[in-house]
Amino acid sequence: MSERRDVVLLGSTGSIGTQAIDVVSRNPDHFRVVALAAGGGNLELLAAQAAQLRVAVVATGDASKRAALEELLNRHAGAGHGIEVLAGPDAAAEVAARPADVVLNGITGAIGLAPTLAALGAGSTLALANKESLIIGGELVTGAAAPGQIVPVDSEHSALAQALRGGTPDEVKRLVVTASGGPFRGRTRADLEKVTPAQALRHPTWNMGPMVTTNSATLVNKGLEVIEAHLLFGIPFDRIDVVVHPQSIVHSMVEFTDGSTLAQCSPPDMRLPIALGMGWPHRVPEAIGGLDWTTASTWEFFPLDDEAFPGVRLARAAGERAGTFPAVYNAANEECVWAFHDGRIGFNQILDVVGDVLADHTQEGSLTIEAVLAADTWARERARERMAKLS
Ligand SMILES: NC(=O)C1=CN([C@@H]2O[C@H](COP(=O)(O)OP(=O)(O)OC[C@H]3O[C@@H](n4cnc5c(N)ncnc54)[C@H](OP(=O)(O)O)[C@@H]3O)[C@@H](O)[C@H]2O)C=CC1
Ligand SMILES: CC(=O)[C@@H](O)[C@H](O)COP(=O)(O)O
Ligand SMILES: [Mn+2]
């Protein structure tokens, strides 16, 4: 990499955000964080990050926390620090629109949509961890992006983007997305009846935020990632496969028309796809340590159990129907995941309810941002109604 890139970091206090700061801190010649945004759940950390990185602007999604953030900034950065403070539900999108080379969207959930569109509108490269915004926005997001403007950070899609450098688009036969299988791999639907939120949060290979970790346990994460792969790379759903690979070392593969398959392999450490996402197309030297080839190891691959884990099948159907269906899939799932963590529904009921809400959905009119947001709201309400009937 030649020139240093200015980075806007959204979701800075989360798993992706803190790892991105680690990458930036170890590579000051390559990256500089110029703005931060977080929700408000960890104001102390947000203020400490802003002071440490000496950003120009810091944002919290919670309007009621402006004064508290200003006070913490004075403590961490000293009075007269000059850091601009934004607060409120639109703050992350406002920050995303500020001049920068790269916006890394590490927010969780559908609320990442407005910042994603703001970053694209501003002409910045969008290093995208917040897969939900692409999935629910669909062609509204891809249509707002110039070629190459969205760079995937999600490990599988980073792997696919790297492997795709090994052939021309017409030489691609299929994409193979790997799944760890989550903490409940090998269990039957009956076994899953009684699993607890604490068990669902024990991911076998990755340390991530609670939503994506739970989605890994249900395989909804893989369903979302199939839609994400379709939107990013323009490959039809029937040419995107999922294979279970418990070691999370092969992050995904591209099979080419001549029978060759290229896989991207590395230890399960998000700092690699984060660094590549911010530096794309350049690699950041020593982003992580590589694989150890001196000791014996085994990489396994298994077919997906669609009966116990229907999340991928439902996502494929929603993705094929496109329009507002992916937004409904995602929103119903977000509601159900929090209900599962609150003890209001069981594990299997997450996808039972998501399936019911999708079956009830009909799209009216063409796809607009308003239609996506309305479908998101409708799906959350319908999921809550369904869950209330269960208990
Ligand atoms: N973690 C990982 O390894 C991976 C994550 N991803 C994806 O990356 C995204 C982030 O995941 P992860 O880091 O695990 O999630 P976390 O829950 O760890 O972090 C979420 C971040 O979003 C912030 N946030 C919440 N609301 C707002 C808001 N209104 N405005 C700005 N920021 C907000 C949170 O702030 P606060 O908590 O301070 O309120 C927090 O910083 C998800 O889409 C996930 O699917 C993809 C691949 C791997
Ligand atoms: C690290 C990452 O990209 C996650 O999205 C990961 O894919 C989760 O692992 P699963 O394969 O269990 O969903
Ligand atoms: Mn992933």
Question: Ligand 2: which of 15, 16, 155 to mutate, most ligand atoms within 8 Å of CB?
Answer: 155
Q: Which amino acid is at 294?
A: T
Q: pLDDT of 59-82, one tens digit each?
A: 999 999 999 999 999 999 999 999
* Ligand 2 mean position, distance from CA 268 (Å): 9
Q: pLDDT of 351-387, one tens digit each?
A: 999 999 999 999 888 999 999 999 999 999 999 999 9
* 64 annotated as a binding-site residue: no
The 10 Å CB-count burial string (b at 16+, else e) for 220-259 is bbbbbbbbbbbbbbebeeeebebbbbbbbbbbbbbbbeee
Question: Ligand 2: which of 130, 160, 162, 216 to mutate, most ligand atoms within 8 Å of CB?
Answer: 216
Q: pLDDT of 213-271, one tens digit each?
A: 999 999 999 999 999 999 999 999 999 999 999 999 999 999 999 999 999 999 999 99
Q: Which ligand is nearest to the CA of 132?
A: 1
* 131 annotated as a binding-site residue: yes
Say what the pLDDT of residue 1 is: 73
d(C-alpha 351, C-alpha 356), whole Å: 8
CA angle 318–323–324, rounded 5-degree value: 75
Say what the pLDDT of residue 83 is: 98
Q: Which ligand is nearest to the CA of 131?
A: 1
Say what the pLDDT of residue 361 is: 98
Question: Ligand 2: which of 212, 241, 302 to mutate, most ligand atoms within 8 Å of CB?
Answer: 212
Residues 6+ apart with CB under 8 A from 31: 4, 5, 7, 23, 24, 278, 279
Is 391's pLDDT higher than 70?
no
* 62 annotated as a binding-site residue: no
* Ligand 3 mean position, distance from CA 24 (Å): 21
SS3 54: coil
CB 302 within 8 A of CB 283: no
Pick the atom of ligand 1 nearest to 45's CA.
Answer: 38
d(C-alpha 337, C-alpha 340), whole Å: 5
Structure tokens at 124: 């910045």
Say what the pLDDT of residue 363 is: 87
CB 214 within 8 A of CB 201: yes
- Which residue(s) pair with 16 in the sheet? none
d(C-alpha 263, C-alpha 286), whole Å: 20
Q: pLDDT of 148-201, one tens digit each?
A: 999 999 999 999 999 999 999 999 999 999 999 999 999 999 999 999 999 999
Query: Could you give the C-alpha distances from 21 to 9, 74, 102, 372, in angstroms and in order?
Result: 9, 21, 14, 32
Q: pLDDT of 326-338, one tens digit each?
A: 999 999 999 999 9
Is 323's pLDDT higher than 90?
yes
ipTM summary value: 0.99
Query: Could you give the C-alpha distances from 278 to 21, 136, 226, 290, 322, in angstroms and in order?
Result: 11, 23, 23, 19, 29
d(C-alpha 278, C-alpha 166), whole Å: 21
pTM summary value: 0.98
